[in-house]
Amino acid sequence: MELIYLNTVWIVIAAAMVLFMEGGFSLLEAGFVRTKNAVNVTMKIFVDLTVGALAFWMIGFGVLFGKDAFGLIGTNLFGRPESIDLAIELPAAAFVLFQMGFAVACISIVSGALAERMNFKAYIVTAVLICAVIYPISAHWIWNGDGWLAKLGMKDFAGSAAIHAVGGFAAFAMAKMLGARKGRFNSDGSVNVFAPSNIPLASAGAFILWFGWFAFNAGSTLDASNASLATIAINTMLAGASGGTAALFMTMKKFGKADPSMTMNGVLAGLVSITAGCAFVSEWSAIIIGFISGIIVIFATLFVDSLKVDDPVGAVAVHGFNGVFGTVAVGLFDTSGGLFTTGEFKLLGVQLLGAAAVVVWGLAGGAFMAFVCEKTVGLRASEREEEEGLDMAYHGIPAYNELERFTDVPTSLFDFEETTGITVAPAVNKELQNAKKSSSALL
């Protein structure tokens, strides 16, 4: 009886940490996008935690863990997920809460890739579809004991494939159909860089995500007495550190600068890639997996740009490509069946099949969601809304009240010259008037 109490405390705390990762997503995305869209990405994270969480509780949990049909989908527990019969000493409510954190994380992956030009209503529709249908179906294949990939022996401890690869490639398909931000790509194929608005803010988000990842991975034991908890935690730390190290050194060599955004994404890539195998590989293997992922994220980002797919935060490279790599890496480094550790090929074959399946499902799911949004509420923001910024267009408030300084600016050339003793050109006077009008509209 004491074990169930211990497990309850452990999983509730782990679930809270995983849900707190949404704060990390919010800060990371707000720092990576332009100032005029920072409120919008924050509001999308609130959609994940509100609409998305409810959709998963009502429908998605049953699709994932309900009674299996043909190895493809769950068919019960809808609206009553606490009715699940667990074979472990853990209250069903704690398990449901923990799984809810995974579902909202999947939609948050998509959020960043579609930033700065997506219709807000379309994002709400997307959150519902991912949390209720897209994520739960492929996760059912892997994590439901009767799922077809689970029966083949696929290993994905905490979701490199089930969460990250699916979310990353759904984001890729939706970003492709949504189109790039205005001015992002030139006709000759060259890329215009839109500078992030706040790197320290983004780094705070990355730190929160890294912190939450210990619960993301170690919490998946669902057992506070599990002897592998410490191994999972240290593997998580080592892979994140190794991924960040690789990205840091690679950017210094390739670009001549220690790029902060790439370093952050290198850390996240390492964390994504170790998520599948954190309980199955050695510490040295975790370092190798993380290091390779830090290199992958840089070249995957450049590859996505070459396809003219606009991903403002690098979600496809971090989660999509490294979710696939992490899944395959289990087949290479697993201590009991990896190709490099035992010489056996069977597990690698299963992992390759599973990775391919979730990529195809993610792309198909993303295309489906984009189609549904386009036919219902409209997929993309209008050109005027995009130019103005989605903060004001959809939420009526800027992230930073930068126009406050214009509140006392005189509105005429005569008043300005009389007040300051400075003679200005008519064009400057026009700008002063525009600034005053904009300020008055906001304040």
Confidence band, pLDDT 50/70/90 cuts, at residue 187 = confident
Mean per-residue pLDDT, 61-85:
97
324-353 burial, b at 16+ Cβ within 10 Å, e below that, comes to bbbbbbbbbbbeebbbebeeeeebbebbee
Q: How confident is the model at residue 299, as a pLDDT?
A: 97
Residue 32, number of CB atoms within 10 A of its CB:
29
Cα dihedral 166, 148, 222, 128, rounded to 10, equals 40
Q: Is the alpha carbon torsion for 210, 335, 293, 323 positive or negative?
A: negative
Confidence band, pLDDT 50/70/90 cuts, at residue 206 = very high
The tokens describing 368, both together, are: 């489906």
Burial of 116 (0-12, 13-18, 19+ CB in 10 A): buried
Confidence band, pLDDT 50/70/90 cuts, at residue 189 = confident
Summarised one tens digit per residue, pLDDT across range 294-313 is 999 999 999 999 999 999 99
| Residue ranges per structural domain of the chain | 2-386, 401-442
User: Which of helix, strand or coil describes residue 74?
Assistant: strand
Q: How far, in Å, CA of 176 to CA of 102, rounded?
A: 25
Q: How confident is the model at residue 406, as a pLDDT?
A: 45
The tokens describing 278, both together, are: 């954190």
Q: Which H or E element spans position 113? A: helix 92-113
Confidence band, pLDDT 50/70/90 cuts, at residue 335 = very high
Distances (CA, A) of 326 to 32, 278, 293, 349, 426: 25, 10, 8, 14, 61
Summarised one tens digit per residue, pLDDT across range 371-397 is 999 999 999 999 999 999 999 999 999
- Going by C-alpha positions, the residue among 325, 259, 256, 342 that lies closest to residue 288 is 325
Cα dihedral 380, 385, 388, 392, rounded to 10, equals -100
Q: Which CATH architecture has domain 2-386?
A: Orthogonal Bundle (1.10)
CB-hemisphere CA count at 13 Å for 219?
Answer: 28
Summarised one tens digit per residue, pLDDT across range 161-177 is 999 999 999 999 999 99
DSSP 379: S
- Write the DSSP assignment of 358-375 as a string of letters: HHHHHHHHHHHHHHHHHH
Mean per-residue pLDDT, 226-240:
96
pLDDT at 131 over 70: yes
- Going by C-alpha positions, the residue among 299, 312, 243, 314 that lies closest to residue 275 is 243
Q: How confident is the model at residue 2, as a pLDDT?
A: 86
Average pLDDT, the chain: 92
33-66 burial, b at 16+ Cβ within 10 Å, e below that, comes to bbbbbbbbbbbbbebbbebbbbbbbbbbbbbbbb
pLDDT at 86 over 60: yes
Adjacent-strand bridge partners of 380? 118
